[in-house]
Amino acid sequence: MSETATTPTAPLAVSARPYDFTFDPATTALVVIDMQRDFLEPGGFGESLGNDVSQLRSTIQPLQAVLAAVRAAGLTVIHTREGHLPDLSDLPPAKLHRGDAALRIGDLGPKGRILIRGEYGQDIIDELAPVDGEYVIDKPGKGAFYATAFGDVLAEKGITSLVVAGVTTEVCVHTTVREANDRGFECLVLSDCVGSYFPEFQRVALEMVAAQGGIFGWVAPSADFLAALASPAPAADSTVPAPAVTAS
């Protein structure tokens, strides 16, 4: 197959913190965490916890651009949705009862039952709707690996690197990146495509990923990832490590 701008040559390098992130598009997945109405729109779970949901909306536009680019480049795309079964059988009492939420998980809100699978509010926002061929992983926890087929999908597809976006940075994004790191995946977090209800948590959560020589992974703005994806030339003198990947 001839090379074009939309068929990148591996390995590619992203200018990132704490140092360049190299990746092979064939073994890299874009993971979009929980971009659901329940977290980004009024009347959902995020607002019921007392949060200003408008804080997360700056992620939408850059993430749309990233989705368009990775779709054109043919990368694996995996969306996740936090949520529970209608009978709440997968909802630990600790998660149900914690805090003083105005509406609890399973209660009826303006967009359906809060954080329940199949409800309008639990689905992904229109702006970032999955397209045919993309995976959607429903997860009961904060991390994408816990009680899901996420690890199996990654193993089946031969994925070793994850480019991570979504919400919230210090909760489901961090939990997933930490779980992925322990399973041997290389993770790049896109700083403008992850969002927090708390600006100070956003800043610190990103620092925590890249500190100590990249203790959990790498951090870069999406523009630098897009530049790497569009670059026709392989990264100089770099090889993509092949970590041991254990399906959960």
**172 in active site:** yes
Catalytic residue among 123, 138, 172, 187: 172
Q: How far is the CB of 168 from ligand TIU (least distance, A)?
A: 4
Q: How far is the CB of 4 from ligand TIU (least distance, A)?
A: 36
Q: How far is the CB of 169 from ligand TIU (least distance, A)?
A: 8
Answer for the pair 141, 30: CB distance below 8 angstroms, yes or no.
no
Q: Which of residues 10 and 135 has its CB atom nearest to ligand TIU in the complex? A: 135
- Please state, in angstroms and rounded to a whole number, the distance separating the CA atoms of residues 101 and 86: 19
Closest to 217 in 3D by CA, of 8, 225, 74, 105: 225
Task: Give the Å distances, CA to CA, from 223 to 4, 69, 191, 198.
Answer: 19, 11, 10, 23
Q: Which of residues 22 and 36 has its CB atom nearest to ligand TIU in the complex? A: 36
Interaction site with ligand TIU (CB under 6 A): 34, 39, 49, 82, 142, 167-168, 171-172
State the number of CA atoms in the 13 A half-sphere of 162 facing the CB: 33
**193 in active site:** no
Q: How far is the CB of 8 from ligand TIU (least distance, A)?
A: 30
Catalytic residue among 34, 38, 123, 138: 34
Catalytic residue among 24, 38, 139, 142: 139
Answer for the pair 218, 14: CB distance below 8 angstroms, yes or no.
yes
Task: Give the Å distances, CA to CA, from 110 to 105, 165, 209.
Answer: 13, 27, 36
Q: Which of residues 73 and 144 has its CB atom nearest to ligand TIU in the complex? A: 144
Residue pointed to by tokens 């992620």 = 59
Q: Which of residues 32 and 171 has its CB atom nearest to ligand TIU in the complex? A: 171
Active site residues: 34, 139, 172
